[in-house]
Amino acid sequence: MSTVSPLSQIIQLKPIFHQKIWGGRRLETVFGYDIPEGKIGECWAISAHPNGDCLIEAGPGMGGTLSKLWAAQRDTLFAGATGDRFPLLIKILDADGDLSIQVHPDDAYATEHENGSLGKRECWYVLDCEPGATIIVGQRAHNRAELAEMIEGGRWSELLNEVPIHKGDFFQIDPGTVHAIKAGTLILETQQSSDVTYRVYDYDRLGDDGKPRPLHIQQSLDVVDYDQVAPTSGTVTAPEVDGVTGLESNSCYTVDRVRVSGIKNLEQHWPFLCLSVIDGAGEVCGLPVAKGKHLLVPATVDQVELAGDMELIVSHL
């Protein structure tokens, strides 16, 4: 058992906010974040990616960035982890408008074509959505030629698999999945630390420069998984056991929903835990937390004590 104080080892990060053409203001009004002016679509809450490297506000490495901490102390703080970069990225997305129809590559394609980047496997937990909201996950073309023909003909309603969504739904988005978050949706996203996106369609919108945003049709045709079976629902069917519901587990991450009413201890067996409080308030190892707080718990903490009345999304390798 470690003799260090768990509280002293918890890493608190300063979120990074990104303006998006489809963004809104709910990161401020729902979560209380101090966000810049304009359409803010993404909160990068736990990230060491070059496009958003979080500053450490408290804990090991305070004053530096997460990427620097990973480089300097990976083998001690994050024992058991491998790789030259922190592997996950935790976001909250506020879609006031529709996101582009898009697809992400796997590791092999991204390494070869995107300067050694990781691919982008991700998953979505629906934090909230407007009545009647939908999401796009999957497409109906059987092969590259058919997909190219449907894109060229603008046959979007025929091509895309659109699914009704509700608060608490969950979707796993593997590389090769055509997808789009649509207007009126708040999402917590757990993903590989990658920022590679191939746009298939962008509703003919103009970017900040007054020109259409670039599309990536050839790359999209390359990476789409034509054998994938599209979902019909995001309803979580896994059982809740002692407050914990397993949402997804794959080679890149495991994601659980954790509900706390009173006191609950989580054993820490992994290089790190990413904790995101999505509702309620309480304490993590004695640290007061509330909705919108994100913490990174390294391997030097053996057990995470949760107290209060709250709901979290917890992820690890």
- Residue 257 annotated among the catalytic residues of the structure: no
CA distance linking residue 181 with residue 137, whole number of Å = 9
Give CA angle at 170 (165, 171), nearest 5°: 95
CA distance linking residue 163 with residue 138, whole number of Å = 10
- Which of the following is catalytic: 26, 74, 121, 199? 199
Query: Which residues participate in catalysis according to the annotation?
Result: 199
